[in-house]
């Protein structure tokens, strides 16, 4: 490595990112906010004989043969905008803190009654992570509607010599009320067939969309431009040395660190590592990641009045984001 690499203790914390392929957060919103959003849904479907075209002909029956069968709409047509803005604000904070992904798509509100489902697919080009937030009643006269997320790896090769079924092949996450489910968009996923009552009140309601990285998030004494300038040379050096190897990998890597008033990096940690090679196995990745972490840890930033906190999302391979 180059000279001037920071001692190992500044990069030790980088070993273990916090996030796997699937994250489930129960009681995600303050209960009163979740309840208010559900109350708007209940009010929308109440008094059916009073429904008017301008307020109620708002559902898109989205049917794609073999893939999607459900109803969807823009949520602000059903749920108060102020509640949605609060939801998105809290999701933005959570996603920025937990995943380092600070850009959110505006969600759909979807309704699954009996016969609705999503076939298996991935959203490799839609975002980095998908989010599904449930406003489904916990007690309902329907079954199904679980989010199904296939486990990683080749299910054929992994199970050549053992019988496998159900949870050994995939994870099923029930649409519990006020539950947030977030998963790597490249994981094969779908929604289990809903069966039972045709009453929408008994169906699966979810707000769903995608999360992806914004530019670096910088808070404190240094400006974004100052941080970028110093980062640029480290990232160019990384590119020169490892571009060919790094091309084999795909996915987001997010680093978080502090810069002291003297311009030194401390507390560097990987908060998200969802980088994989197309071929099975990830043997070379930890070495490449280690080099990148070392380079960033060794940057001499400009000295300034106080501390600066940086979240740095990096994307390997895949479609570029504007
Ligand atoms: Fe999807």
Summarised one tens digit per residue, pLDDT across range 221-242 is 999 999 999 999 899 999 998 8
Q: How far apart are CA 155 and CA 159, in angstroms?
A: 6
The model's pLDDT over 1-57, given as tens digits with 9 standing for 90+, comes to 333 333 333 333 444 555 678 999 999 999 999 999 999 999 999 999 999 999 999
| Residue 29 CA to ligand 1 centre (angstroms) | 22
| Residue 190 CA to ligand 1 centre (angstroms) | 6
| Residue 189 CA to ligand 1 centre (angstroms) | 6
pTM confidence score = 0.89
**Residue in the block written with tokens 């070392």:** 294
| Residue 130 CA to ligand 1 centre (angstroms) | 7
- CA angle at residue 159 from 252 to 148, to 5 degrees? 50
The model's pLDDT over 274-301, given as tens digits with 9 standing for 90+, comes to 998 877 666 788 889 999 999 999 999 9
| Residue 122 CA to ligand 1 centre (angstroms) | 6
The model's pLDDT over 170-219, given as tens digits with 9 standing for 90+, comes to 999 999 999 999 999 999 999 999 999 999 999 999 999 999 998 899 99
Q: Give strand pairing partners of 322.
A: none
| Residue 136 CA to ligand 1 centre (angstroms) | 18
Q: How far apart are CA 258 and CA 260, in angstroms?
A: 6
- How many residues does the structure list for the chain? 322
| Residue 186 CA to ligand 1 centre (angstroms) | 9
| Residue 282 CA to ligand 1 centre (angstroms) | 25
Q: Give me the pLDDT at residue 66, please.
A: 92
Protein residues near ligand 1, an ion, with CB under 5 A: 123
| Residue 209 CA to ligand 1 centre (angstroms) | 9
């Amino acid at each position: 490595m180059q000279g001037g690499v920071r001692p190992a203790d500044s990069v030790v914390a980088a070993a273990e990112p916090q996030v796997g392929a699937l994250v489930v957060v129960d009681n995600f919103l303050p209960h009163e906010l979740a309840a208010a959003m559900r109350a708007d849904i209940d009010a929308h479907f109440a008094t059916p004989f009073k429904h008017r075209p301008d307020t109620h002909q708002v559902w898109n029956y989205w049917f794609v043969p073999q893939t999607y069968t459900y109803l969807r709409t823009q949520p602000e047509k059903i749920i108060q905008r102020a509640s949605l803005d609060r939801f998105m604000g809290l999701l933005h904070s959570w996603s920025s803190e937990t995943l380092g992904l600070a850009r959110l798509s505006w969600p759909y509100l979807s309704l699954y009654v009996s016969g609705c489902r999503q076939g298996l697919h991935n959203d490799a080009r839609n975002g980095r992570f998908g989010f599904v937030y449930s406003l489904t009643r916990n007690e309902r006269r329907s079954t199904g509607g679980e989010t199904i997320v296939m486990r990683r790896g080749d299910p054929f090769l992994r199970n050549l010599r053992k019988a496998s079924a159900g949870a050994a092949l995939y994870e099923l996450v029930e649409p519990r009320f006020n539950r947030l489910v977030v998963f790597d968009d490249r994981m094969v996923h779908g929604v289990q067939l809903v069966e039972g009552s045709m009453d929408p009140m008994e169906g699966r309601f979810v707000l769903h969309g995608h999360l992806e990285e914004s530019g670096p998030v910088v808070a404190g004494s240094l400006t974004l431009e100052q941080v970028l300038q110093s980062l640029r040379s480290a990232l160019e050096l990384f590119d020169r040395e490892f571009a060919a190897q790094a091309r084999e990998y795909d996915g987001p890597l997010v680093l978080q660190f502090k810069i002291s008033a003297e311009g030194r990096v401390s507390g560097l940690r990987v908060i998200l590592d969802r980088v994989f090679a197309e071929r099975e196995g990830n043997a070379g990745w930890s070495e490449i990641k280690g080099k990148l972490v070392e380079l960033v840890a060794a940057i001499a930033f400009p000295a300034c009045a106080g501390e600066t906190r940086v979240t740095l999302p990096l994307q390997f391979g895949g479609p570029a984001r504007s």
